[in-house]
Structure 1
């Protein structure tokens, strides 16, 4: 198969995915023709269309042939995501007609591996950490090409290509996704691992298999490269030569203490290489985000970026959409949206909210993501949701790529939650329920389509306050 940049048409099956859309933007910037299919029109696909990328939403081979008729098979590269079922008619067409077809992860690897690659992996925190590293390197005027698994609030995009000094090195900064072992296509100079909690057991079956795959990822690090890893999992990487650990309230090589929230600011003391810096300000809340910031600082110092620039970037960082994202923040009502979809992520999110608003009623609305994940972590979800919120509202499970599993429902989860104030609601009733009842801090939680409910919720709550 020829070089990844030698095609004229790049056709994406599943272009609305966060990783796929970043690649689509990359090839569009290279002045290639980019066309894509997705089953759902979203804010992101509409933005891609505004940028000159043609998107369509009907699975129809006849229509497809009209769209690609001016390009030969040899000039066309088809890029797909594993979330697309193999029986998809467009995928079937391309496969049966012997087009060049590549998975998203293969294409990403071919792009980023040619530069000084910084790859950020981990079952939690990798998107925010990738965005933080991107922001620091951007503010330090470094040459970067960055692929982030979320829309960065500072830049309103998931892809950045900045060349300030053509004669100097280019850093490729990329999120490294463990789903479907995608990150094994990456060969980084510097790798970050933020944590390895059990997840994606539909792929890995056991936690140990997941850990083994992370070890395989660390073995992909280039000679003389380095691994920056959360202190809580560094024991899995004892054979790695050049390793830096980071931690909160533990003695890693880089660690944070005195973490507190004061005057609406997230502050901490940073300890690195026997130096201490007091009252470092982070632009987003949450102790879990201090951990992400430590990883980002470790990477920046690996490349000797100045502390002054690093700290200014931490302070000006605005976060990532759907990660602790405020939609309403006033004295009457607070509405925060978060992508958390694993018990440990939800726990970290709820603990942070509880710390910020210890005296307010917290209403958590959770849409479980995937039948398999709900089955695998049913007790853990129930335990976390029993502990922290003052009111729990469950929505039906968002299936994504999965078929239903017998007896695995939101009602089953609700029954296991030990709480006096809990309920299951249809999505269609949620906004009216919130409007007609008393709430102080409302949290929407999940990786499905719960965020699509926010505009209606927001409108009703703001009208109610006025």
Structure 2
């Protein structure tokens, strides 16, 4: 919407990075391939496992400053890991402690690493920071548990582009490894859906069943049905059980007919697609 091309997008982040007066105060995800476009000498890098970041000055791989290892789901349904910190003076890693989050997903480990890196730069107590992260229960519309009824768990998520949906589905699989995951996706805007069409199939592989609803047009004009059908067909070609389900009310009806005890139903979208999950819960409660 704001950045018409990838080059425009990269330029905005490069400009922001260049505006940071103290290099180490720029905290960068070393796992993100997009950081290769930044000129960020001396930045603080974080990421998973023992991956390396590219130092823009030397163009050599350099260790990440903050890393996590042993990332796995916890019995409580969250995610745990060991935290490691690279000592630039001694040129070696040291264990900085462990972390247990209430929220599932590798992406939340990355978020926590970023928060710890910032806390360290602000000279905050790291044990206190880790405890605060452990107590964080998330925000509305981000892997938000809407309720349970009839043995069905209903979750809502604001994710509306492939990267978000991929991360949330992986988190759901981490928390519910043995349960069937049924997802309902309300694609957001025609332009965005068309631009990201090729990225959707791989993003949805963790779903056992995927319903693709009509496009949420927002401020755009177009046929909400045709492109949604195309998206469902494209995802199905990749081996995902994907089906077109229509508008929100129709999708809710389809969900009610498909949901069975033990299912985890996730509604995705930045529009009003969460109404499908709410309707599902109400009807399950009335059975």
Question: When the two structures are superposed, what TM-score results if normalisation uses the length of structure 1?
Answer: 0.52
Superposed displacement of residue 376, structure 1: 0.2
Shift of 1:275: 3.1
Query: Separation in 1 of the partners of 2:8 and 2:47?
Result: 24
Task: Verify: 1:417 aligned to 2:244, yes or no.
Answer: no
For 1:300 and 1:349, the matched residues in 2 are separated by 26
* CA contact 1:337–1:445 (8 Å) conserved in 2: yes
Give the C-alpha shift of residue 330 in structure 1.
Answer: 7.4
Residue 362 (structure 1) shift: 1.1
Q: Which residue of structure 2 aligns with residue 147 of structure 1?
A: none
Instruction: Say whether residues 1:312 and 2:158 are aligned partners.
Output: no
The separation in 2 between residues aligned to 1:457 and 1:438, in whole angstroms, is 9
Pairs within 5 Å for 1:55-454: 202-222=1-21, 226-231=25-30, 232=32, 233-238=34-39, 240-249=40-49, 250=51, 251-264=63-76, 265-273=78-86, 274-329=93-148, 332-385=151-204, 387-404=205-222, 409-418=227-236, 419-420=240-241, 422-439=243-260, 440-454=263-277
Counterpart in the other structure of 1:166 = none
- How far does residue 216 in structure 1 lie from its aligned partner after superposition? 0.8
The CA distance in 2 between the partners of 1:379 and 1:211, in whole Å, is 21
> Number of residues paired by the alignment?
261
Give, in whole Å, the separation in 1 of the partners of 2:138 and 2:155: 13
Relative to structure 1, is the Cα distance of residues 245 and 408 closer, same or farther in structure 2, using a 3 angstrom cutoff?
Answer: farther
Higher RCO, 1 vs 2 (CA within 8 Å, ≥6 residues apart): 2
- Aligned alpha-carbon RMSD (Å): 2.3
- Secondary structure of 2:70's counterpart equals strand
Segments of structure 1 that go 5 or more residues without pairing to the other structure are 1-201
Q: Which runs of 4+ in 1 moved over 3 A?
A: 222-225, 405-408
User: Aligned pair in 2 of structure 1 residues 331, 276: CA closer, same or farther (>3 Å)?
Assistant: farther
For structure 1, which segment, 369-378 or 454-463, has the greater mean C-alpha deviation from structure 2 after superposition?
Answer: 454-463
Change (3 A) 1:454 1:299: same
- Aligned mates of 2:149, 2:73 — CA distance in 1: 18
CA separation in 2, counterparts of 1:223 and 1:300?
Answer: 16
Which structure 2 residue ranges, 5 or more long, are not aligned?
Answer: 52-62, 87-92
Q: TM-score, normalised by structure 2?
A: 0.83
Distance 1:435 1:453, change over 3 A: closer
Cα distance in 2 for residues equivalent to 1:309 and 1:256: 18
Per the alignment, do residues 224 and 289 of structure 1 end up closer, same or farther by CA in structure 2, a change over 3 Å counting?
Answer: closer
Give the conservation status (yes or no) of the 8 Å contact 1:431–1:460. Answer: no
1:372 Cα shift? 0.7
The farther-off stretch of 416-425 and 247-256 is 416-425
Structure 1 residues 6-56: Cα deviation after superposition (integer angstroms, max 9, x where no partner): xxxxxxxxxxxxxxxxxxxxxxxxxxxxxxxxxxxxxxxxxxxxxxxxxxx
* Larger-gyration structure (1/2): 1
